[in-house]
Each structure stands twice: as structure tokens, then as C-alpha cells.
A and B are shown apart, each in its own frame.
Chain A
Amino acid sequence: MERHEWMRRQCRKLFARERDRGAVPTQSSEDSHIPPLKLKAKRTISVGHWPHQEEYRDVAQSYKGNIIHTTKYSLLTFIPMNLFQQFHRAANLYFLFLILLNWVPVVEAFQKEITMIPLLVVLTVIAVKDALEDYRRYLSDKKINNRIVQVYCGKQNAYIGKRWKDVQVGDFIRLSCNDVIPADILLLYSSDPHGICYIETANLDGETNLKQRQMVSGLPLQGVEFNPASFYIRIECENPNNDLGTFRGFIEHYSGARAGLDNKNLLLRSCTIRKTETVVGIVVYAGTKYALLLCDLGHETKAMMNNSGPRYKCSHLEKDLNNEILWCVLLLVMMCLITAIGHGFWLKQFKHAVFLVDEDMPPALAGFYVFWTMIIVLQVMIPISLYVSIEIVKLGQIYFIQNDLDLYNEHADCRIQCRALNITENLGQIRYLFSDKTGTLTENNMVFRRCSIYGIEYPHVENGCRLEMYEAKENEAAGCSVTVKSACRDKSLSCRSLSCNRSSLSLHTLAAESEEDGQLSNDFLPLTSAFCSRMAKEVIPDPDLVNKLSRLCAPMLLSGDVTFETTSSLELNYITDFFLALAICNTVMVSSPMQPQHLAQPQTLSKSLDGIKLIFQRFSLPLFSALSAHSPTRSRGSHGKTDDIFHSRNSYSNGPSDNEEDMRIEGGAENDTDNELMYEAVSPDEAALVHAAKAYRCTLRGRSADSVLVDLPGIGAMIVRLLHILPFDSNRKRMSVVVRHPLTGQVVVLTKGADSAIMNLLETPKGGEQAQETDSHIREQTQKHVDNYAREGLRTLCIARKVLEQEEYEVWLKGQLLAESNIDNREELLNVSAEKLETNLTLLGTTGILDRLQEDVPETIESLQRAGIKVWVLTGDKQETAVNIAYACKLIHPSDQILTVNCQSKDDCAALLEDLKLEVQCSEERISQKKTAEDHGGLSSGRKVSFILVIDGRTLNWTLEDASNCFLELSHSCKAVICCRSTPLQKSQVVRLIRDQLKVMTLAVGDGANDVSMIQVADVGIGIYGQEGMQAVMSSDFAISRFKHLCRLLLVHGHWCFSRLANMMLYFIYKNVMYVNLLFWYQFFCGFSGSVMTNSWVLILFNLFFTSVPPLIYGILDKDIPAEQLMRVSELYQAVHASEAPPPFVFWFTVLDAFYQSLVCFFVPYFAYVGSDIGELAFGSPINASALLIILLHQVIESHTLTWIHVFVLVVSAGSYFVFVLLFSVCCLTCSPHSNPVGVEMLQMSQPLFYIVCALTTVTAVMPRLLFRALHNTMHLSALMQTALREVE
């Protein structure tokens, strides 16, 4: 914020000065196509000789340099700043309060130094941790700052190496392929002939697909070898802000030319240049435009990804803990009150007692003072150190979760990532699991399965067989696919660099790491990248379709064939456009080893012209012929090569039976580079479709900003000009490209999208009756196929097109250009413009894409359901697809009853829900009746019928608005709920509804950006490393690579973490109550005066050192039930918590036990020493020693596992106590004024009575708990445990 303010001030100053001199360079009004900038705050950069250049330069120099500091502290400021931050914690304030209290002379309980120890220890521990983190940041900053980059130096007229931190705003920077961008620079020159530069933003958002950036257009500098010396420009742009998505400004050339700038021209810091030889740019924002953001990134990556702001996820256990601590506070106050009142009365009974120090003090006042003294004395009652301990324990738990081999995906080389550090125990209490479907339950590894064009279905039987075989083979190969391996390999680099926990990471470490990995990743970048596994993607074409396509290229002599006649030219037309759409209606990047010259040479066009002519003849449609006249340029040069056509003729003359083989041979012979083509797609569907198109030899060969190069069957490579791309949008649910059709030359809109989106946009049939009939026939058939596909579990996409008349196009173009050039609400206008275009479409066909289930999904779901977790599937897919997948993953059993809620209106919806509720209730009653009847008859009941609720997005919306209670009740009695066609917002609403209304722990798991909101809302959000970028992972609390890992994560780690933490917290409270009570009982024998029978050092250190480590180990390592058992008997997940008494009871039981133990621990020594000459400290010595033993033994009893680590820690703890007190009793001469321990322990421990007392005390105190445990374990071993144990036997 500061920085922004500063910038703003600087700019204001600058402009004020300019205005004073009246020298604001006014722009000529001719440049009217660039609307005036409405930038609130601007920054100006100029190069070359402009008026007032000196001032500009000064200002530019005063802009923030490129040096970055992500460190929070410097050497000098560390102590004050760190202290300041630490005192934001309530716990530390409590300690501080105690210290201050101890400074008041009348209530002083201990020496002043001693009360400071707890605070000092806590502060030091945290400070050391912070310092280490900060130091790591400092080192990485240093590394980043000292990287070398080529910066243009005006004096030498050459690029010289400069360190990153010396780069300034206005510097020209030259970067080569694979360089990391050192600052936010404006792309002025790219070696690419089209002025394109590719960047990879993995360091910024984790996405590994390449993105295009365009050099500034509209300036007279294209094509010329760039020379900064002769380059005079002035750039005006917005001030730094933290919006990654937008950038606005304009550039003005000396010649007066002016061009608008947008995000497409900006290369962001820490991205990597790819596939472009040389790039030159000018630094507009040094440091970074997103300086604030960078700082945040280290701690709150989520904040970057989501402006909505993540909810702070609080652990439920900690809420319970807060309650318990409140009770502790109450207990403390009560104890202090008792003491205070007791002291008052005690004082009252004496008159002139010789031992009273100041008799004049009124008893009430003395009692008041004693109250505060007791607060200090009994301070450990409030387990403040518990908060620190919990943090440490959770770190330990996370360490073990991350190191679990079973949660490691070997093929992707990916571990589980724990991104949230404070909610491990939530994993153990999950009641509802909300799962995305695509990519979560399924691989999200799309393969083209079948398609329907012109209302005719092409089943691709062989393709299906191949896929099944592939799957089978894969299953043999231990489950995991090669696909995933190769796909994730590239990704794992970024996974790893992001996998550190939030607190210790900054973007710079990311950048640093990726640099190291840079070499590595480059090595296999051309070989492997997302979605390119050959085996999975290769599609075996359907013979029928191949046949039909071959008509397109077959020479006339085959025209007599029967099949040809059945294939109308309109259908052929549909088929070609269909595949053309598959090939080009996407944003797929093509890479091949031939890069960067991936665009074909111009002569290929002329080569294909011959073919075009032939095709035109074949189509012989009046429309086409008319239009072909329109484009004379295309048909003119028709003297190209005929080899190509000849070749295809040969290959297809053999008849349909051999077609497939032929095609393969041909594919190999025709084009070697075919196999080298790599497709990088943002979404796997796109890649699948491009691959499918390729199988039909409609191959996407290359892409530039305004054109694509495609092979067309029988024609060969040709350039298709991309007039516009209307990118995919989750609201529109479709994307379109506007192209000039390569064959007809018409302007054609090709749209691809969800059937629901497309079907509504189809043009109302017009024209002749026959045409109408075919049209509606096609539509009906296609709809039928779409439904069939969905039922089969395939993902469907509809392909449509629209032929634009030239005038129509021009009208639209105007609007579009206006929208594009608009700076202020460009996005909005573009959307409107897109919607305007995508109307009256003609349906071409539909595709069915197969997305296979991940391995072990059915088993995982079944296991989770047995664990009492309700699994809901929230998906954006079609209902049929969703239900089908649900069957496939055993979420629905064939015997289950499906309740479908699809309503047309709000009222219907409420009514339907009520009906269903009644129905469910009735059938439940029936079942229960039957059950009782069966019980009477002694028959075992059969499989219970369960209900599955299926609800669609629209209905869900109404439900959430009005009938949420009804919905909740209904869903409660259902085994599972499937929400289909749901939007990201709905997903999060559903999760929130369950979380807030039912007050249960929810878990959301997903892999894509559409799951982010749901992941954030749920108590536990889990991201899956998928094929759709890193957003889900970035916003998640835990990131896993396979769905099946959930099972172990919840059932084993969740259970462990929960029980470990719950037990540790109880133990901690027990420990404190037990120890503090010893001091309390003593008050009854010292006139309630706040005396202690212990040396105050020992008193403070007892909790801080001697008994602090064992509970930590207990919290990290304890295993109440072995992992195998938890996995096998998943009922344990729920049963263990259910069978145990409710938390308040357990808490009071523990407190009572602590009271009993402290009573024993105090009164056994009391009766052993009463009436003797025992000294105060000598009396405390056996009490302390036995308290220590009791506390440690109590833990041994409560632990479920004892490893050598436990034993070691216990022994060391006990040993350290005895060593400390012995040393202390020898060495401490004046270190502890009123309770000088010299000689006490030595003498005590040399007497047998000490051991006799300790033994009696310890055994008596521990016995009941031991007895209870033993009896409990023998008698009340729950039925589940017994079955589990029996299974083990």
C-alpha cells in the first residue's frame, strides 16, 4: 500500500510540474481510435529525446528499483519488530500480564526473573523460528537479486550483463529462450516473425501450458532488427497494482504513432520465455508490478489466487479446547478466591501473633492481595504453552503425513502436500465429502471415444476395443498409467517447488528453484508435456466415417459407388466442417522439434489450391459455387502439384476393409513430422478432440496469433486465417472461432460447447421443407446420441457452425472492434459481442469423450461410506453422465433407489421435495417394520435399500434459495447426493449449507478452478494435482495426486491426528491441573498465604522443561490403532469417536483424576511428615519428585504405543529433573532468595524415607487410572475393536 501511495504522489508531482509549464504533450486528435485513458494513476516512461526528458529520467530513476526484499526484518529491526508481532498473541499477553503483576510489591510471588522465564522461552523459540525463515528468504532474495540479465547500455550501444537488482524502469532488456523475466517488461520486439513470444507462468500460478504474448503492434518497428539507440518512445500506463489480469496504457512513438497496450503485451516478472529466440522489452515496472503480491505469496498464496479471500479455517478441536481452557480459567479464579477468602479469615483469628509481619493490614485487603499472588503462583493452570505445543505437534503430524509412502504417487513422483498447517485433526472428523467428478473421480485424461455427425452415429467400435485393452493392460501394470507419469512429470517440477509450507516460502524461492530445474525441464519439454501420451490419444478411426471422408478426396471415377450416393454433399460438408472445428476451434499450442518455425511456408497454400478446385467441383453446391466466384484469388493459381491427390487416390482405392491399415501406412509415409507434433492444451478435452481430428487426417500443424495451419484430408496443409477467437467462458459454456473458411472463403463461426449451451442457440429451421426436416431430424438424432453418450458416461460436446454473410460480419466486426479497443470494461463488452455472434447456429454433430475412472475409486468410496462419511458428487456434467459415473464408482448400487429432482419451476421444486421426503419416510418405516418382523421371525434382513438423490443445477438453485431445510432433511436420509450441472458457486453454496446447518465437518475435493470456491468453503479442502492447472491445489489445504489417497489420508492419518491431538490436549490439561492443585492444597497449611513448598525455579521449569517434551512425542507418535486395521475396518473411523464419551465428560473425568492424583500426591507426604521437623523445601522435594513420576507414568498408561523414542524422552525428562534439582541444590547459593535450595535435595535424596514416600505416592496415585484402563480394555472393548482384533488373530 505504501508503495502505491508513494507512486501516486510521485506522479502527481510530475504532472503538476508539467502542467505548470504547460508542456503536457498534447496528442493530435487524429488518433481517435484510441479512446482517452481513464487511468486514475499513471506512470510515464520515456526513452529518447522528449521535451523535459531530464525530468522524466529523474522520475524514472525515482521509481522503485528492481531489487527485492521479501525479508520481514533486518538485523537492526529484528528484535523490536519480532517482539511487536509476537505480542499480538493473546498467550504472550497473558504472560506479560503475569510479569507485570509480579512487579507489584504487595503481590509479588516469585523473583522477577523467574516469572519472565516462560515468556522468554516462548519468545525465543518463536523468534529463532522467524529468524531462520527470514534468513532463508534473505538468501533467496540475494540469489535472485544477483542474477545477470542483458541490459542495453546506451554508452556502449550494446547489451551488457547487469544484475537483476540494478535493472531500472526504462531499461531495455534482451532475453533469450528459457530466460526468466527479471521485471515486468513491455514486449517491444520478438524474434518470431509474427511478433509473438511464448511464456510459461509456472512460477506465478503453476500452470505449465504456454501462453502467447504479442509485441506492441501499431508502431513502425515491426520487422526491423530492433535497435534501442534509435528508439524514441513514451509510455504511459497505470500505476503498479496487484491485479495480474489487466494492464492498461498506451505507447507513443516519436513519429506520433500511438498504440494501446494491454495485458497481451506485458511479460510478467518470474515467468519464463519459451520457444522464442530473442525478446527485447522495456521495463515498465521494476521490482514488480505486483510487489505487494510477491510479499504475500510467501505466506498467503491463496490470497493471490482468490480475491474473495479464503475463510480462516479453524479446527473444531481447538474450539473445544477454548471451552476447556475457559473452564480452567474458572477453576483458577475459584481457587484463587478460596485462597483469598481463606487468608482473610485466617488473618482475622490472630491478635499479635509473633509471626505476622504487618498486622495492621485489614484482612480483606490482605485477602485481595493474596488473590493476585495466587494468580501468579497458579499460573500454569492455564495451559498457555499448550498452544505452542499444539503447533509443534501439528508440524510433526504433517511431517509424517507428507512422508507417507502410501500417499506418494510413484508415477508422478508426487507427494501429498500439506498446505494448511492447523487443521490436521479435522481430517479425523469428516462427515460429508463433496467430490468433483472430472479429474477427481476420473483421470481427466480425455480420449476421444465416438462421435455423431449429421445425425449419424459413428460408434468407433475398434476404438472402444483399443481403449478397453489399454485399460486392462494398464491395470496389469500396477494401476497407474504411463499417461499420468508423462503428464505429471513436467508438472511435478512446479509441484515440488510449491510444496513447501506456506510460511516459509516466497516467490523467489520458486523462481530460484525453477531456474535450477530449468535445464532439466527444457530437456524433456519437447518430449513430454501435458496431455500428449501417444498411446492414450491415438484414435482408431471409424471405417464408415473414413469411407465418407474419402469421398471428399476420391477422384470422380469412384462416383458410381453405392456408398457415395448415400452420402449427400451436405453431409460431407458437415463432416469436413465438423473436423475442421475439432482441429481449430481451440487454443491448443502445437510444438514440434522444428520449432520455432512452426508455421508453414507460404507455398503450401498454392500446393493445395488444386485440391480445392477439385473439391469445389465435388461439392457442387450452388451456394459454394457462387461463393467460389467471390474469391477469385484462391482459385486462380490452380497449377499446383497433383502428387498429393494422386497419392490419396491410391491409398483409398483398396476399399473400406483395408482402409485403416492404409491410413496408418500413409500417415507414416506422408508425413514424418506428424509423429513429432505435440499438442499442449489448457483443457484435456481440447487435446482429445485435436487428436481425434488428426486421426481423420485433419491435422492441426501450427498456430500463430492470427492463423492456424491445418492439414485437410486430401488437400494437404493450408493456412486458415483466424479472424477472431471468442475464448471459453464458464458462463457461456462454449468457445468459438471466426475463420475464413479455407474451402469456401466464407466467414464461418465454429462453436464448440456443452450441449445445453449449444442446443439453445440453434437457428430455427428455415428454408425448404425438406431442409427443415433434415435439420430437425439431425437435431433430434444428435440429441438422442448426446443422451446416449451421457448415459454411457462419456463427456459430450456439441459442434455447431454459422456461416456469416459478409455484411453481417462487418456489422458485428464493428462492435467487436469497439469492444476490443475499449479499455475500461472491455471484458464485459467482449462477452456481449460474443453472445451476439453465437446465435442461429447450425448443429454439426457431437462428440463423446471418455474419461476413465481413477484406479481404486470404487473401493475408496465404499470404504469412506463404511466409515460413515456421506459422499456427495458435485459436478458440472450432465445428469446422465454423472449418474453413470456414480454407478461406475459404486456410489450407486444397482439396488439403490434414485430420487431425481429436476423441476421446471420453483413451486414444483418445493412440492417435489416434500413428496420425495414423504416417500422416503414411508419406505423407511416400511423397512423398519419389515426389519422388526424379520427380527421376530429370526430372519436376517437382506440388503438395505438406500436412496440416492440426484438434483440438477437449476433445481438446486431454487432449493438453496427456498427449500434448504427440506433439501437437508431429504439429503439426510439419502445415502448419497449427486448434483449435476452445478456451477462453482452452487458447489460452494451446497458445502456451506451442510457445514453451517448441520454443524458437521465437511471435506471438498476437486482438481479444477471450478472447485476452488468449494475447496475454500469446506472445513477441509483437498486439491488434486490434475490436468487443469494448479488453482485447486493452490487453494487447498491438502493436495493429493490420486483420489484413492483420500482413504488413507482420512481413515489413517485423520484418525491418528485427531486422537493424538485430542489425547494430548487432555493430557496437557490434566498435567497442569494436577500440578497446580498440589500448590493449592498447601495453601490450607500455610494460612492461605500463597506460599509454595517448592523452589520457584523448579516450579516454573517443571512445566516448561521437565514435562513438556513427552506430551509432544505422545501427540506426534501415538498410534491407538494400527494403520492396517484402520484401513481394513473403516467403521473404526466413526465408531471410535462415537463410542467414546462426549468431550465434556472426558474433560471432567480427566480433571477429577487430576484432583485425585494431586490429593494423593500431596497428602501422602503430608501424613508421612506431619509433626516432624521437616523444612518447607524438604517437604516439597518428595512431592515434586512423585508428581513428576506420576505425570510421566500417567502418560505411559495413556499411550497406546511406546517406542524407543518415547522411552528415551521419558527417561531424559525424568533424568533432567533429578539432575537439575541436584545440581541446583549444590550450586545455587544465592540464586533463589526466599527459597534457597542449597542442600535440600541432596539431603532428601540421601534418605530412604524420600523413596518410601515417592513409591507409595506414585503407586497410589496411578493405580486407579491403571485399573480403569485395564478393566476398560478388557470389558469395554467395543464390538468393532473386537472384530478387528479377531481378524488380526
Chain B
Amino acid sequence: MVKEENESPNRPDNTAFTQQRLPAWQPMLSAGIVIPGFVLIGLAFIGIGVALLITSRNIQVLELDYTGTEQNSPCFQCSDPDQQDCVCTLQFSINSLFEGPVFFYYGLSNYFQNYRRYGVSRDDGQLYGDLSYFKEPYDQCEPYRFDRNKRPIVPCGSVANCIAVYTFRLFQIVNGQQKEVPLDGKGIAWWTDYNIKFRNPTVTPLRNAFNSTAKPLFWPRPAYELDPSDPANNGFINQDFLVWMRRAALPDFRKLYRRITEGDYANGLPAGNYSLEIAYNYPVLSFSGRKMVVFSNVSWMGGKNEFLGIAYLVIGTLCVVMSVVMLIVYAKFKFPEED
């Protein structure tokens, strides 16, 4: 054998690879493979679809629009852009226990957080607590980079500037008395955002880090005073700030405001009347947006969404139907031949 090879040095190797004879699965997509496959997938999808639909049906959602464009809306007065520090109160009732843990979202519609020039207008360096970026913010932050006095804005950029600083207070009306529902503002942001991506400068007290910088134009208070009640919840690791900075994918979105997990409400919101006190401070009429609050509980598949369940059912059924069709076609085309 070896000798033979020496005799013909040009002879190609006779291997399965070089001779293109590798054992191959030829996916001749004939009925034999496809029909059982379709049936299996179809059945699996129908199963998943049913599970999703049931899960989704069990999720309770309460959506309250408080834009106030309508005359009868309690926030009608506040919707006037000239109004300052307007507070309006929204009354609503829950008929049955709203199972906990309840997630309290605020929602905005027609708000384009994914607008490209808006989205890039931020400085991750600043937000990471890097002091060098405090002096010279990222140039994409324009026009929210320096204030009129040429002081660098911290945090710079449009995203931070437009933060919707909401203050909601939820009361259960028990026997005519307002009983405040405790709202849990901890851990509403992503763990990675809070611990890795955003950091305060390692300067104590925190405000010193912000010397000779300006607060964003729209902000009532500088970053280090975002949450007067909790000194640890200030600067760039303020939970509300973090939630806002994670830009929404779509123009109609909601963002987590609080969770209701404490005290009497750990199991959910009991049936009854509630009033929501809203510090109305974010005009949306300029872009014909809507504002709302959303109460929802979540399941393993996230929030309420009937689409997935229905889609699974439809596709699953289609698969089964198709497999039947193919069986017919197959029978028609395959068997007469063999007769």
C-alpha cells in the first residue's frame, strides 16, 4: 500500500471527505419526515398555547388614564401646561382581590424614547461615576451638554434631562378614611444597572462630586438630591432614574414605578375603593401622548398578553391542518405510482 502511494505521488487521497462521500443525511423533505414533524409541533404548540392563554387570563391588569385631555377627567385642570405643581386625584375601585405582588407602572404613549438622537444623548462614562466625564461630557449630549454658564451638565443628555419625575401616592379608602398603601421602591431597577452599569463617584459627600456642574435643565433638583427621603437612593443609582434611563423599545410603554409588597397589601390589593394622588408635572400634549398608571400582577410569562397564546394555538392548528393536507397530497402523488 505504501509502495503504491510512492509510485503515484499525485494520486488523490481516497477518503470519504475528499471524494465527497461523507455519510450524509439527505433531508429530502418528503412527507415521511414532514408529516409526523408537523403533527408533533402542532400538538406541542397547541399545548403551549392553551397554557399561555390560561396564564394570561389569570393575570389582572388595571389601567388608569389620567392625561386629562377630557373635560370630565379629574386631571383636566392639570393638563394645562402653564399649571405648576398641580396635583390631581384619581378615584378607582377594585371589585375583587387584586392578587399580589402588585406591580405599579406608569405609562406613556407616543413617547419616542427610541428616537435615535434622543437615545444617543447620554454619557455612560458619567453614569459610571467617572469624574473626568463630569468636566467634559460626551459630545453626543448636545444640546444638553453645558448650561448657559458653560458649566457641564451632570447627568448630561436628553434622556436624563427628560426624566419623568412622578410622585404617586396610593390610598385605600377604608371607611371613608384614606389609608396609604406602602409602595416599595427598592429593586425596581435591573440588578445589573444598579450594581454594575451605574455608579456614583466615590466622593463623600456625594454633592462634592457635583461641584461646578449644573443639574439638567428640566430637573427641579440636582442628581444628588433626587430622593430626599433616602440618602442611599441618590445620584445615578436612584431607582427611578435607573428605570427611566433604560429606554423603552416602543413608543407606547410603561415603566415600573413601585411594587406593592408590604404590610397589609403583601397579598395584593383587597377589593374596595382607592384614590391615587398624582403630582401632575409632565406635559404630554405637545406630542399628543397619553399618561396612565397600570396595576398588574405578573406570572412566569411576564405581563398579560393574549397574543402569544392565541398565536400558538393558531400556528399549532395550522401545523396539524397542514400535516393532514400533506397526507392527502402524499397519498395522491405517491401511491398511484406504485400501483
Contacts and interface: CB of A to CB of B under 8 A. Distances in A.
B13 interface: yes
A1170 B288 CA distance: 19
Given A358-B143, A1234-B119, A1203 B22 contact: yes
Nearest to B118: A355
Interface in B1-36: 7-14, 18-20, 22-31, 34
B23 A1203 contact: yes
Residue of A350, A405, A1243, A1252 with highest tally of chain B CB at under 10 A: A1252
B10 A414 contact: yes
Contacts of B114: 1085-1087, 1089, 1091, 1093, 1176
A1282 B333 CA distance: 12
Given A355-B115, A1201-B26, A1203-B24, A1170 B312 contact: no
Contact of B250 (A351, A1174, A1202, A1233): A1174
A350 B287 CA distance: 6
Interface stretch (A709-717, A972-980, A1142-1150, A1260-1268): A1260-1268
Interface stretch (A84-92, A201-209, A881-889, A1270-1278): A1270-1278
Interface string A394-434: 00000010111100101001110000000000000000000
Given A403-B19, A1168-B305, A1234-B140, A373 B116 contact: yes
A159 interface: no
A1253 B308 contact: yes
B250 A1169 contact: yes
Given A405-B19, A1234-B122, A1239-B196, A353 B138 contact: no
A67 interface: no
Given A1239-B196, A1242-B192, A1175 B246 contact: yes
A1238 B197 contact: yes
Contacts of B197: 1229, 1236, 1238-1239
Contact of A1239 (B158, B193, B252, B333): B193
A1263 to B, nearest CB: 7
B112 A1197 contact: no
Contacts of B315: 1256, 1259-1260, 1263
Contact of A357 (B26, B138, B143): B143
A1168 B56 CA distance: 12
A1243 B193 CA distance: 11
B246 A356 contact: no
B255 interface: yes
A1256 B286 contact: no
A352 interface: yes
B118 A1252 contact: no
Interface string A1159-1178: 00000101111111111111
Residue of B19, B29, B253 with highest tally of chain A CB at under 10 A: B29
Interface in A1236-1263: 1236, 1238-1239, 1242-1243, 1247-1249, 1252-1253, 1255-1256, 1259-1260, 1263
B124 interface: yes
Nearest to A1206: B24
Contacts of B142: 357
A410 B8 contact: yes
Nearest to B15: A403
B67 to A, nearest CB: 14
Contacts of B182: none
A1123 B312 contact: no
B326 to A, nearest CB: 6
A604 B315 CA distance: 102
Nearest to A1171: B252
B279 interface: no
B322 A1267 contact: yes
Nearest to B31: A1274
Interface stretch (B207-215, B259-267, B295-303): B295-303
A316 interface: no
B195 to A, nearest CB: 9
Contacts of B253: 1171-1174
B173 interface: no
Given A1203-B24, A1259-B315, A1274-B329, A1178 B12 contact: no
A496 B30 CA distance: 46
B105 A1274 contact: no
Given A1091-B114, A1252-B301, A1256-B308, A1173 B248 contact: yes
Given A1234-B120, A1263-B319, A1243 B192 contact: yes
A1259 B45 contact: yes
A342 to B, nearest CB: 13
Nearest to B125: A1230
Nearest to B127: A1236
Contacts of B326: 1267, 1270-1271, 1274
A405 B14 contact: yes
B116 A1091 contact: yes
Given A1087-B112, A1176-B247, A1243-B190, A1270 B30 contact: yes
A1179 B334 CA distance: 45
B119 A1176 contact: yes
Contacts of A1234: 119-120, 122, 124, 140
A1169 B12 contact: no
B287 A1256 contact: no
A492 interface: yes
A1086 B112 contact: yes
Interface in A479-508: 492, 495-496
B34 A1248 contact: no
Interface string B214-240: 000010000000000000000000000
Contacts of B190: 1239, 1243
Contact of B30 (A1167, A1238, A1273): A1273
A1185 to B, nearest CB: 15
B124 A1090 contact: no
B286 to A, nearest CB: 5
B9 to A, nearest CB: 7
A354 interface: yes
A784 interface: no
B296 to A, nearest CB: 9
A1269 interface: yes
A1174 B287 CA distance: 21
B12 A408 contact: yes
Residue of B45, B111, B247, B283 with highest tally of chain A CB at under 10 A: B247
Residue of B122, B138, B254, B305 with highest tally of chain A CB at under 10 A: B305
Contact of A1173 (B13, B25, B254): B254
Contacts of A734: none
A1180 B119 CA distance: 15
B128 interface: yes
Residue of B143, B247, B250, B303 with highest tally of chain A CB at under 10 A: B250
Nearest to A354: B162
Contacts of A1248: 300-301
A373 B115 CA distance: 13
A1274 B250 contact: no
A827 B299 CA distance: 96
A355 B29 contact: no
7 contacts: A357-B118, A1085-B114, A1119-B24, A1172-B254, A1204-B23, A1238-B197, A1239-B197
Interface of A: 349-358, 373, 400, 402-405, 408, 410, 413-415, 492, 495-496, 1085-1087, 1089-1091, 1093, 1117, 1119, 1123, 1164, 1166-1180, 1196-1197, 1199-1205, 1229-1230, 1233-1236, 1238-1239, 1242-1243, 1247-1249, 1252-1253, 1255-1256, 1259-1260, 1263, 1266-1267, 1269-1271, 1273-1275, 1282
Q: Which 9 A-B pairs have the closest CB atoms?
A: A1239-B192, A1179-B249, A353-B287, A1089-B116, A1201-B24, A1086-B114, A403-B18, A403-B12, A1270-B34
Given A1171-B253, A1233-B138, A1238-B196, 11 more contacts: A1089-B117, A1090-B116, A1119-B24, A1164-B311, A1171-B107, A1202-B25, A1234-B119, A1239-B193, A1256-B315, A1263-B315, A1270-B31
